[in-house]
Each structure stands twice: as structure tokens, then as C-alpha cells.
Amino acid sequence: MSFDVPETKVANFDVKSTIGDARSGTLRIKDTELETPNLLPVLNFYAGGLARSLYGGGIHRTMKEFMTGDDVIGGGDYSEYFDGVMTSVGSLTDYNISRERYEDYIAEPVKEREVFEEFNGTLFLDSGGFKFLGGYELDGSNFEVEIDQAKIFEIQQRMGGDIIVNLDRPIAPDDDYETRVEKARRTAENVVEFLNLSEGTMSARFLTLHGYNYSMLDTFLGEIDDIVGASRVHDEFDGVALGSLVPLKDNKGRLIDAIQDCRSILKDWGFDDLPLHVLGISSSAIPLLAAVGADSFDSSSYLHSAINGKYNTSLTGSKSIDEVDFSKCNCPVCSNEVLVSRMKGNAEYRKDELGPVAMHNLIVQKREVAYIRDCIRSPGTDDLIEYLESTLGQNKSMRLFAHRVVNESLGGYF
Amino acid sequence: MQETTPEKQTRKRPKVNEVNEFLEIASDFEDPLEVIREALSNSYDAGATEVEISIKSRAQESEIIIEDNGRGMSESDLESFFDLGNSTKSDPEHDSIGYKGHGTKILYKSNQIIVDTAQEGKNLHAVMDKPWDTLNNRELPEYEVTESTTRPGNDGTRIKVTGFKSGRGFAPESLTYNKIEHYLKWKTLAGSTKYHFHPEQFRDLEITVRLDDGIDDSRERLVTNNKLEFPEEQLDPGEEPFPEARMCKHYGPKTLQIEADNGETTELEVVGMVGGKDARDELPTYGRHSAQFGIWLAKDHIKVERLNEAISHDNEFIHFLFIANSQDIELSANREKIRNKSSAIYQAIETELNYFLSKVAADPWFKGYLEQRRVAELNRKASTQQKSVEERKKAVTERGRFEATNQSEVILGLERSNREGAKPTITVEDFDLGADVNALVEQNGRLYGSSVHLKLTDHFEEDKPLESVGKILCWEIGDRDKLREIERRGYQNGHVEFDLESNRITYGTKSRHTIHIVEVPSRFD
């Protein structure tokens, strides 16, 4: 005879393979599956525009057209590159929208809208804490909404995120100890409210953590433990999202420290079975951070590169769009005559010229992350080491970091 | 331009002045020990397993005799031996060391060369008299060859060189077994790394060197092999004050496949070690450590030139000894320099070696080794500090009472005098060593801008202002004559008077103000 145990977890994270500290698995939430390590492109579903323009304009709109295989971009199936997508409640503030438009935007879950019916990836809905509370001027006031944990949760639910996070208070590198403790305490209070509000939700809940090293993370978790209770964190959260790293994005050594220490603290607190998402860090850091145990990333670098006229050749390299020989790339964008012609400048609007570049950049990044995943899934450490050597190892300023993760996570060279 | 019809066409070939060529090539060799280097290479290439080198000092002139059990020379081999640029070892890929036909020309810098070489029952005896004098008379020296029969199976070559001259003059007396051994291991095939990479091709060569007792009688002979052997590995630190000194780790042998930008490929065979000073001392060295350790590029597995840039600047090259061999580097005639440094393949070798060594430098063992050094240094420092604490304790015990030796101790003294009831109570409320007026002191509820010094004179020597100073706290007055001089000359455009009886200074430009001198020790009286 068996008893039904109430299942509070919505997500299932199945680690299939580990080499050193790197791991690869499958994250299942509702009817979505995300293979890890993975990179979630940042999209703005509601960027300006009107409903008929796919809820958003500019280059974001073109990306959504790729996501849904719209006729405007010549159709085609790009869904494999949108197996997971990140968006933020904070993106509602990117454009000056009215209260009415806001109501319209959150009236129906993203995936239930007809325009997005082709999209079946995992939708990660960030709380926007970085935008609302990270010291920036933005708040919800331009559409007359008071932002708090309850409101954020309401928006997340109404938008229908597969993964949602509590409203957090990001730290800054120059915060002093007291400030960090205060931010942790206030985040912990939000966590309590978030868990209470979201009881029974069908979304997977990720706990946001902030800290740059073991001690900071320990202090942060200590506050959570005092206010929420460790067991509740363990039983009710489906994953962990490490934030506040954006200001350190150019310091690969500190990023590696942060991820290594985060994995250690999760192990010491008994949360090591939860997937670890790294908020806002991508590109050349991905191979390093995946090698030391990060499971997923989100990035808008594919988009920003394109806006800056850069065409990615790898996770670490790019060329000016004017110098590109598109025939050298076999991605579906560069194999499409119409899109190539637009990328060469034969387009009426800038978004039509740069949108395909952004999509190409995303494909390059996604393919490379898939390759890293394959390396982790293949037996032994050789494939991943060889990948790190042939990419980051060739760059003098990066090679020391490649050596470091090979030595510290993958058994070393000698 | 007007067109011309050729009436006569001739084809010309540039001429070589043979005598000058010989002089040039032979002059390239400076160090007499290079005779030994060349002889070893030739003997190895002749398939020898044993070679014996004897150096004798005679009243008139020196003798160098090199004898091996190789396959000997045929007539044409002997011709090549004396010819210039006519090596029989034409295939650089073949297992041979020289192939330019330059090496043996070093022997021309002598008074006589006698070669005896036996091959398959035939012995060739060649004598060349006064080669160096003849060349310098602008003539090509000649040699006489006598053929005779010899016992089959007794192959080998014996070369005797008499009166060898080097740029510095060949002084056999300057040679020692120790010097020769280290030279052999550092500069010749006796220090070869080939056995690591091609054990199947590798052939042991027993090298014996005999020096005349008049040169070095410290031992009878020197016997060595043709391998550069690294000190034994010791991965863990010792317990001595220099625990890292005997630490040693071997790296490789590793064969790196290299492709240059132009598509050329080569193999770079790298082997080496990282180690502390004691480990390095177990290796032969030729010259100073700093001139020998680091990263060597090699050809024929014999070190040629260092490429210490391959180690990033934050690592001292002295901890490393790596030999990176490529048969695609090309050497100058005297084998001292690499001459194809601008080639694509050399650049690719450099890049790859740089990368390989960046991995060695990032090896956790190496970081641990450096950490051992650092910690040991701190420990040594701490023990020195400990000693200095002991010395200071002794000084404190021996003195009768508290003595200030710096500004902070003046304040400590002041506080102590307060505690012991000195009146008036003066407390330091604020102290900023870097400020012009470095202290604020409180007395009877009033704050005074003050200056704290070990000696009163320091205030004036440091040229500190007096305008906003109400008190100067000091342990002693200092040189009173200095104060008198200041009184005499004035201070910072103002008039100053010291009344040390009543502990006052009056100072001012237009109006005057009084500054109180607090001589702290007097508060204990």
C-alpha cells in the first residue's frame, strides 16, 4: 500500500552526466524540456508596438518572428533555438507604456496568445529585481503600478512563466556588509511572501541568491534560513538563480569564484540537486562557468552585438557585419538568400537588416552551448578540455581562466 | 629607349674564394670545447657506441685526440671530412646531427691534423700539416693519404689535432673535468633529450674524457652518456627552512603537432622540469644558473637558444628547464644561433610553446610550489621578527623607565603620565600623522591644535607651521643650538623665541602668540 505524498515541486531536474564539476541534464517543467547546460536568449515580448505587430517592435519583433517562424522572415523552423527563453517583468518598463496597454499585455499568458502559439519552449520570467531595485531609476510608476512582491508574482502568473523567481534585492560590488545583510533580509521577507502566494502554482519556482563568494552567499542563505527556514527553501524551490554578477561580467576570475562558491554552498546547505541558473552572464564566460557547474544562462548579447553591427563567429569572437562572407556560415539565416540580402543592407528598416544578424548570433551561441553539452555528455574530460583549449586557450588574456577550470574542475593537464 | 642587338652573350658564375671561406668558417668557432662537440656528433653519426677524447698539454703545443669505434670513413667520406660544405650527411631527416659539412673545419685552426680511419679492413692515414698557417698565407692546405690494410672488424676513427688555436688561445690548463662535464651536458649531444622521444632509434654512446694530469689530476677520467637526465621527482615539500628547494616535477615527454599559417607542419618534442634550487643544483650547469635555466629550443635534441619569453613575465624562468626540439629550426654554421626566426614555422613553434608553458605555469603543483616558497619566506621573516621582538623585550627589560622612540610612543607616554596623576591632564583627542598640525589635545575642557614630535627640533626641521599650534608635545628638546639658530634667523618669516625655562615659545609675524611646550618625561618627575 502506498501513500500519496503531496508533491510541491513542479520541475524535475535529471542530471544525466557529470565530468569534474560540470554537469549536464534535463530540466522538465510542465510540458517543456530544457537540456542543460543551456542558454536562454533574452526576449522582450511586449516591446512597444501594438498587438497586431506581434506585441513589440524593433529588433525584438524580428526575433519573435523568427521564434514563431513568421512569413515576414520567410518562414522556417527556428524553434530549436528557442527551447528556453528569458524575459523579465522589468521589461514592461523598457518602453513608456500606458496603464491601458499594460493591462492588455498581462491580460493573457504569453503562450496562450495566438501570435505565440508556435512557441513551446521553457519561459523563464525574471522578477525584474535588478531593474526595479538595483539602484536604477526605473520603477513601475510610468504605468501607475506599485511594484512589490505580490504585484510581481501576479504579473508572473498572468504572463504564465514556466520558471518564476522571487523579487530580489541585488547587491553591488561596493555594498558594505550591513547593506548586503539588509538586502538579504528584505529579499528573505519577499521569499516568504512569494512562497505563500505561489503555493500550488504550476510554475517552477527558483530562489534568487546574491553573493560573490562563499562567505557572502553563506550570509545570504543565513538570512533566508532565519526568516524562511532552510527546509522550506529546499522543499519548495525547484532551482536557484544566482544574481548580481553583471557588474563582474568582465572579470572572469571573479565569475568563476562566484559559481564555484555557489556550487559549494549549495552542496553544504543540501541544495545541490537543484539546477543553478546564472542571471545575466553569457558569451565567453559560458564555457568556463559551465565547466565549474552552472546549468543555465540567459543573455541578450546576441541582440546587443547585432545592434552594434557585430556578427558572431563563436561564443568569443565576432566580426564587423561589413566584413562578413555569409557563404562561410551554414546556419539557416546565412543560408537564406533573402535574409543574407537584408543583412547586406538591402532592407527598408534597420530592424530587418540587424534582426537576421541577431538570429545568426543566437544560433552561433546556441550551437556552441550545445557542443559544450555534448562534450559533458561524452565520456571522459578530453572533449571539454580540447574545446576549452581550442577556443579560450587561443586567446592570451583568456587562457589562464581556461587553464584554471581545467585544473580545478577537470583534473588538470599533467 | 633605343633597342640594341646583342653581339656577344656570356654566362658567368659567381666565384668563391675558397681560402677565405675556410678561414671564415673556421673562425666562427671560438670555444675550444667546440672541437669536442663536433667530434661527438661525428662519432655518433658514424654509428659509434664509444668515444674517447684525450687532451694533453705539451711543452710546445697541445694535443687533442678523439677516438671512436664507429664505422670509419671511406675515401669519399675522408674527402668530405676535409672538404667544405660537402657533408655526406645530406639528409637532415636522417638520424644524423650535422649536415652542412662545416663542423670539422674547426680543426683547421691547428698546426697538424692526423686522421686514421679503418673501414672493412682498409685503413686510411691522412696528414695535414700547418693548416692554419697555410690558410693565413692565402693558400689551401693539402693533406697526404696513405692506404694500408688492417684487421677486419677493427673499424673506427682516430683524429689527432696538434696545436689547436682559439680566439682566446687554447689553454688546456683552464680545462677541468668538472668544466668539461658540464659543457658536455649543456651544449653537446651528451645532453640530448632524444631518448625520451625515440627510444627505438636511440643509441647509447659512452663518452670518456681523459685529461693530462698536468691539466687536471682530480680523477683519472670522466665517463658519461648521451642523455640529459633530470633530477628525481619530489612532489612534496621538505621540512627545512627552504622546503621547496628540493621539490621537482617532470613534464612530458610530449610531442606537439604544429601547423603554421602557411600550412607547414612540424613536431615539437618538449620535455622538462620545474624545480627548486637544490633540485636544479643536481643538474650540470655551464655558467650561471640564470644564464642556463629557462626554455630552450633544440635541434637534434641538443639545446641551441633560449626562448624565455615563452614563460609569462609573472613567472620567473629560473624555476624551469624545458627543452623543445624541432628539426625544422635551422641553425647558423657554428650551431650557436637559430637562423630561421622569421619563418612561419618558427613563429608557430613559438606560439605553441608559449601555450604549452602557460599550462605548466597554471599547473596546481607549480602554484603549490610557489606557495611553499612564499609561506617559507613568511616563516623565515616571522622568525626574524620573533628575534626582533626578543631583542626589543630585552631592551625594555634593561631600561629603567619608559622611553619614547617615536611620535606614537610620545602619546603613550602622555597617557601614562595622566594615569599616574600628572597635572594638568592633557589628552590626545585626534591624531593624524600626515597632517601639518598632527594632533588635537584637550586640556581643561579646551582643544588645542598641537604637534607631536619625538624632539621639539623635529617640528622645525620638518618645516611645520606654528600659526595654528597651541602646544607642542615632545619627549625631548633636541639640539638646543638648532633652536638658537632658528631664534636668530627667524622661522617661516616670523620672529620666534624659545623660553625653555618656562616651556614657552612665542611666535608671530605681526602679532605674537604663545605655544606651550609639553616635555612629556618632565610630567613623571
Measure Cα distances from A401 to A79, A287, A407, B500 in Å: 33, 10, 10, 67
Residues of A in contact with B365 (CB under 8 A): 414
**Residue B440 forms beta bridges with which residues?**
B430, B449
Nearest CA of chain A to the CA of B363: how many Å? 7
- Please tell me the predicted confidence (pLDDT) of residue B90: 46
**Under an 8 A CB cutoff, do B355 and A408 touch?**
no
Nearest CA of chain B to the CA of A404: how many Å? 7
Q: Is A12 on the interface with B (CB under 8 A)?
A: no
Phi, psi of B366 (to 5 degrees): -65, -40
**Under an 8 A CB cutoff, do A414 and B355 touch?**
no
**Under an 8 A CB cutoff, do B355 and A413 touch?**
no
Q: Is A411 on the interface with B (CB under 8 A)?
A: no
B251, B359, B365: residue with CB nearest A403: B359
Q: Encode pLDDT of B244-274 as tens digits.
A: 999 999 999 999 999 999 999 999 999 999 9
Grid cell listed for A277:
541558473
- Please tell me the predicted confidence (pLDDT) of residue B335: 81
Is beta strand B302-306 parallel, antiparallel or unpaired with respect to B294-299?
antiparallel
CB-based burial label for A390 (10 Å; 0-12, 13-18, 19+): exposed
**Under an 8 A CB cutoff, do A413 and B364 touch?**
no
- Please tell me the predicted confidence (pLDDT) of residue A208: 93
Residues of chain A numbered 275-334 and touching chain B (CB < 8 Å): none
- Please tell me the predicted confidence (pLDDT) of residue B2: 57
- Please tell me the predicted confidence (pLDDT) of residue A334: 96
Phi, psi of A11 (to 5 degrees): -100, 155
Angle at the Cα of A169 (from A163 to A171), degrees rounded to 5?
A: 115
Helix (H) or strand (E) holding B27: helix B18-28
CB half-sphere exposure, A22, CA atoms < 13 A: 33
First to last CA, chain A: 55
Mutation to test the A interface, candidates B359, B360, B365, B366, most A Cβ within 10 Å: B359
Three-class DSSP category at B186: helix
**For residue A404, what is the nearest residue in chain B, using CA coordinates?**
B362
**Residue A151 forms beta bridges with which residues?**
none
**Under an 8 A CB cutoff, do A403 and B355 touch?**
no
Residues of B in contact with A403 (CB under 8 A): 358-359, 362
Measure Cα distances from A209 to A184, A273, A362, B191 in Å: 9, 16, 27, 58
Tell me the whole-structure pTM to 2 decimals.
0.80
Name the least confident of A9-18, A85-94, B389-398, B470-479. Answer: A85-94
B494 DSSP assignment: B
Residues of B in contact with A400 (CB under 8 A): 358, 362
**Under an 8 A CB cutoff, do A412 and B364 touch?**
yes
**Under an 8 A CB cutoff, do B363 and A407 touch?**
yes
Largest CA distance in chain B: 124
**Under an 8 A CB cutoff, do A404 and B365 touch?**
no
Residues of B in contact with A406 (CB under 8 A): 359
**Under an 8 A CB cutoff, do B359 and A408 touch?**
no
First to last CA, chain B: 114
Most confidently modeled range among A61-65, B66-70, B182-186, B286-290: B66-70
Contacts 24+ apart (CB under 8 A), B352-355: B352/B256, B352/B258, B352/B268, B353/B268, B353/B270, B353/B295, B353/B297, B353/B307, B353/B310, B353/B324, B354/B309, B354/B310, B355/A393, B355/A394, B355/A399
Grid cell listed for A59:
529588433
Phi, psi of B443 (to 5 degrees): -145, 125
Residues of B in contact with A394 (CB under 8 A): 355
**Under an 8 A CB cutoff, do B362 and A414 touch?**
no
Nearest CA of chain A to the CA of B357: how many Å? 11
- Please tell me the predicted confidence (pLDDT) of residue B297: 97
pLDDT > 90: what percent of chain B?
58
Q: Is A397 on the interface with B (CB under 8 A)?
A: no
Residues of A in contact with B359 (CB under 8 A): 403, 406, 413-414
The Cα A320–Cα B416 span in angstroms is: 73
The Cα B514–Cα B525 span in angstroms is: 24
CA B150 to chain centre: 51
The Cα A310–Cα A322 span in angstroms is: 9
Nearest CA of chain A to the CA of B362: how many Å? 6
**For residue B351, what is the nearest residue in chain A, using CA coordinates?**
A394
Question: Does residue B424 register a pLDDT over 90?
Answer: yes
CB-based burial label for B30 (10 Å; 0-12, 13-18, 19+): middle
The Cα A144–Cα B140 span in angstroms is: 104
The H-assigned helical ranges of B277-343 are 277-281, 289-292
- Please tell me the predicted confidence (pLDDT) of residue B173: 61
Residues of B in contact with A408 (CB under 8 A): 364
Residues of B with CB under 8 A from a CB of A: 249, 251, 355, 358-360, 362-365
Mean pLDDT value across chain B: 89
A384 DSSP assignment: H
**For residue A408, what is the nearest residue in chain B, using CA coordinates?**
B364
**Under an 8 A CB cutoff, do A414 and B365 touch?**
yes
Q: Which residues contact B226 (CB under 8 A, 6 or more apart)?
A: B40, B44, B189, B190, B192, B194, B195, B204, B205, B207
**Under an 8 A CB cutoff, do A400 and B364 touch?**
no
**Under an 8 A CB cutoff, do A407 and B358 touch?**
no
Residues of A in contact with B362 (CB under 8 A): 400, 403-404, 407
Grid cell listed for A113:
496568445
The Cα B321–Cα B342 span in angstroms is: 25
Residues of A in contact with B358 (CB under 8 A): 399-400, 403
- Please tell me the predicted confidence (pLDDT) of residue A5: 42
The Cα B324–Cα B336 span in angstroms is: 16
Grid cell listed for A160:
504564465
Q: Is A407 on the interface with B (CB under 8 A)?
A: yes
Q: Encode pLDDT of B441-461 as tens digits.
A: 999 999 999 999 999 999 999
Q: Encode pLDDT of B482-506 as tens digits.
A: 898 898 888 988 899 999 999 999 9
The Cα B72–Cα B125 span in angstroms is: 12
The Cα A252–Cα A305 span in angstroms is: 19
Residues of B in contact with A414 (CB under 8 A): 249, 251, 359-360, 363, 365
**For residue B312, what is the nearest residue in chain A, using CA coordinates?**
A396
Contacts 24+ apart (CB under 8 A), A2-11: A8/A235, A8/A236, A9/A204, A9/A235, A9/A236, A9/A238, A10/A201, A10/A202, A10/A203, A10/A204, A10/A205, A10/A238, A11/A163, A11/A204, A11/A238, A11/A239, A11/A275
B355, B358, B363: residue with CB nearest A414: B363
- Please tell me the predicted confidence (pLDDT) of residue A96: 63
Residue the block writes with cell 616571522: B382
Q: Which of A363, A375, A271, A278 is nearest to A326 (CA)?
A: A363
Number of Cβ pairs closer than 8 Å across A and B?
Answer: 25
**Under an 8 A CB cutoff, do A404 and B360 touch?**
no
**For residue A385, what is the nearest residue in chain B, using CA coordinates?**
B359
**Residue B249 forms beta bridges with which residues?**
B274
A53 DSSP assignment: G
Q: Are B306 and B293 in contact (CB under 8 A)?
A: no
Q: Encode pLDDT of B72-114 as tens digits.
A: 999 998 998 888 776 665 444 455 665 556 777 788 888 999 9
**Under an 8 A CB cutoff, do B362 and A408 touch?**
no
Nearest CA of chain B to the CA of A403: how many Å? 6
Nearest CA of chain B to the CA of A396: how many Å? 8
Residues of chain A numbered 185-224 and touching chain B (CB < 8 Å): none
CB count within 10 Å of CB A7 equals 6
Residue the block writes with cell 521553457: A122
**Under an 8 A CB cutoff, do A399 and B251 touch?**
no
ipTM of the assembly? 0.81
B249, B251, B362: residue with CB nearest A407: B362
pLDDT in 10s for each residue of chain A, 414 residues: 434 444 557 899 999 999 999 999 999 998 899 999 999 999 988 764 444 545 556 888 889 889 989 888 888 999 999 999 999 887 776 666 677 777 877 888 988 888 888 899 999 999 876 555 544 444 445 545 567 899 899 989 999 999 999 999 899 999 888 899 999 999 999 999 999 999 999 999 999 999 999 988 998 999 999 998 877 888 899 999 999 999 999 999 999 999 999 999 999 988 889 999 999 998 889 999 999 999 999 999 999 999 999 999 999 899 999 999 999 999 999 999 999 999 999 988 888 899 999 999 999 999 999 999 999 999 999 999 999 999 999 888 899 999 999 999 999 999
- What's the count of helices (H) and strands (E) in chain B, helices before strands? 13, 20
CA dihedral B478, B480, B482, B486 (to 10 degrees): 120
B249, B355, B364: residue with CB nearest A407: B364
B355, B358, B363: residue with CB nearest A412: B363
Nearest CA of chain B to the CA of A390: how many Å? 11
The Cα B267–Cα A123 span in angstroms is: 50
- DSSP notation for A329-378: --STTTT-HHHHHHHTT--SSHHHHHHHHHHHHHHHHHHHHHHHHHHHHS
Please compute the mean of the pLDDT values over residues B322-337 and round it to a whole number. Answer: 90
